[in-house]
Structure 1
Amino acid sequence: MKVVAGVLLVLCSLAVSQAWNCTDGPRLSYALQIDAGQGMVVAINRYNYVYILLRTHWYHMTYYRFKHCSVGPAGLWAVSTTDQVFKWSAGLFHQSGDKSIRQVDAGGNGQVVGVDSSDNTYCLTSTIASAHSGVGNVSWESLPRTMRYYSCGPYGCWGVDSSYQVYFTQGMNETTCATSNWILLPGINMTMIEVGTDGTVFGVGLDSKVYQRIGIQSSWRVGTDWSVISVCMSARHVSYDLGNLWIVTTSGSILKCTQ
């Protein structure tokens, strides 16, 4: 699998002139999801085990089974195969109450957001999220808009609804979880979207291509358009941190892209 991915990347580099240079990332067999933040990179494979990247090797973190993980200013959080939320604390994953969540995001300004199986959305304030050690229950705030995927950054939150349409809200108060109005961004339908801790936004379209939101500035945080990143391989999941774009392909390979 890794050899095939490498050949495809070479052919792609010969055929396409692009701003991003993608190479084979550290090998993790049958990767499904990846997340990067605060200088850390974590991933989940098809056996639902979570791994952390140290230098050039992936290390198995626990025997709990997870289907989604996220790392950011709020710490490392994960969702089990039975939709239970866990936080990494003192070298272990601890279950965080009994809230049922299927996708979690620890980006933003310290808050944690999550989506349940009915696309209802929830938030943990930054105060609760940072102080929680995995002991006892936590109080999730209900958010007004349903989403199938939710991700926050320093400039606001992005979401994909049940129709795969992309939305943006400029404000989320990390201490109260209050949000402002959502803006619909027509043009590209997405299966998922991720925001880097610097506000950079990437997503995977229904066509399995990787897109970057361009034109994001402090004065115009929603950006101006989508730009496709040509990697000649179909994508399943993406994440970005500290200049590195991580792509999980539909074949389970991991690509590391830089500019």
Structure 2
Amino acid sequence: MHHIYRTSPSSVHLHPPTLPTKMFFAVGLLLLCAGISASADFQCQIIPGKLKQIDAGAGDVYGVSDDDNIYRWVDNNWKQISGKLIHVSVGPAGVWGVNRANNIYKFQDNNWMSVSGLLKQVDAGGDKFLSGVNAQDNIFCLRQSCTVSRSSAVSFTPLEGALKYYSCGPIGCWGVNSANNIYFRHNVNPTACQGTQWQQIEGQLTMIEVGTDGSVYGVNAAGNVYRRDGISAKAPIGTTWTQLDFCATFKHVTYDNGYLWLISPSGDIYRCADDK
């Protein structure tokens, strides 16, 4: 990744529950070699269970397992939710997901409501609008009035370009393409979710997530985790990438409400509390 600025390492305090030896080893890796920036110290612990994807937003956390089961984090435990999904997202637009056939669902009244269209990845982090990409990396969004509707027949707005992963927040949307290049979408809002133009951002990531508070985190092909610094309403693209120097590698990251959630390549779940 180009133009990455690292801060000097500092220790991470780990307080795991009673765990098998294998889990202790994983935690030990983080303890021995985790260089979180001095301005953003995290306290990390491993969470029981295995997931392949996780999403935190609007004070909630959902995830899916290798066998497509769906889970919600409730009272410090995983509660299984009925249904089967390969990707789930939670945020101001609600709880949405897609299954192996790329069918789209919205969690409404404790049931999954089928929604017209096909996507492989969805993101509910926008200001009550939905975004996502399909199997051909075409990009779409669903304006606010459609996400709050009880109708299952909706009309997605297409965006120019191609991305494999797309995520939105309060002051803009971020995505990565098949070459792992990073892009920011300008002038996105609830009634014009398509925005106006793309701006390429330095660096390369395999996935990227925007938090409900506008924070941006991502993972690169080597499994390193990065945070985008300097983001504000006046500077929505921020200024620099900072690597969070865990010794362990990860395939998925999401952030909300003071917690960074991480998924390892083997599906182990880590929750790191922002100690600021």
For the superposition of Structure 1 and Structure 2, which TM-score range results when normalised by the shorter chain?
Answer: over 0.9
Q: Note if 1:140 corresponds to 2:160.
A: no
- In structure 2, the CA distance between the partners of 1:139 and 1:2, relative to structure 1 (3 Å rule), is same
Q: Would the aligned equivalents of 1:22 and 1:255 in 2 still touch at CA under 8 Å?
A: no
User: SS of the residue aligned with 1:27?
Assistant: strand
Tell me by how many angstroms 1:248 deviates.
Answer: 0.7
- In structure 2, the CA distance between the partners of 1:231 and 1:66, relative to structure 1 (3 Å rule), is same
Q: Note if 1:94 corresponds to 2:80.
A: no
Partner residue of 1:174 out of 175, 184, 190: 190
- In structure 2, the CA distance between the partners of 1:154 and 1:17, relative to structure 1 (3 Å rule), is closer
The RMSD of aligned alpha carbons is: 1.5
Unaligned runs of 5+ in 1: none
- Give the match for residue 17 of structure 2: none
Q: Note if 1:37 corresponds to 2:54.
A: no
User: What is the distance in 1 between the residues matched to 2:106 and 2:172?
Assistant: 23
Partner residue of 1:163 out of 153, 164, 179: 179
User: SS of the residue aligned with 2:68?
Assistant: coil
Aligned residues: 252
Q: Note if 1:7 corresponds to 2:64.
A: no
1:176-195 Cα shifts (integer Å, max 9, x gaps): 32312111112x21100000
Tell me by how many angstroms 1:44 deviates.
Answer: 0.9
- Give the match for residue 224 of structure 2: 209
- Give the match for residue 123 of structure 2: 105
Q: Would the aligned equivalents of 1:51 and 1:58 in 2 still touch at CA under 8 Å?
A: yes
User: What is the distance in 1 between the residues matched to 2:129 and 2:257?
Assistant: 20
Out of 161-170 and 193-202, give the one that drifted further: 161-170
Q: Note if 1:27 corresponds to 2:42.
A: no
- Give the match for residue 265 of structure 2: 250
Q: Give the alignment's TM-score, normalised by structure 1.
A: 0.93
Tell me by how many angstroms 1:223 deviates.
Answer: 0.6
- In structure 2, the CA distance between the partners of 1:36 and 1:16, relative to structure 1 (3 Å rule), is closer
Q: Would the aligned equivalents of 1:26 and 1:56 in 2 still touch at CA under 8 Å?
A: no
Report sequence identity in percent.
36
The within-5 A match list for 1:180-259 is: 180-186=196-202, 188-257=203-272, 258-259=274-275
Paired letter, 2:42: N
Q: Would the aligned equivalents of 2:54 and 2:263 in 1 still touch at CA under 8 Å?
A: yes
1:122-158 Cα shifts (integer Å, max 9, x gaps): 11111110223xx531111111121110001111010
User: What is the distance in 2 between the residues matched to 1:175 and 1:2?
Assistant: 46
Unaligned runs of 5+ in 2: 1-21
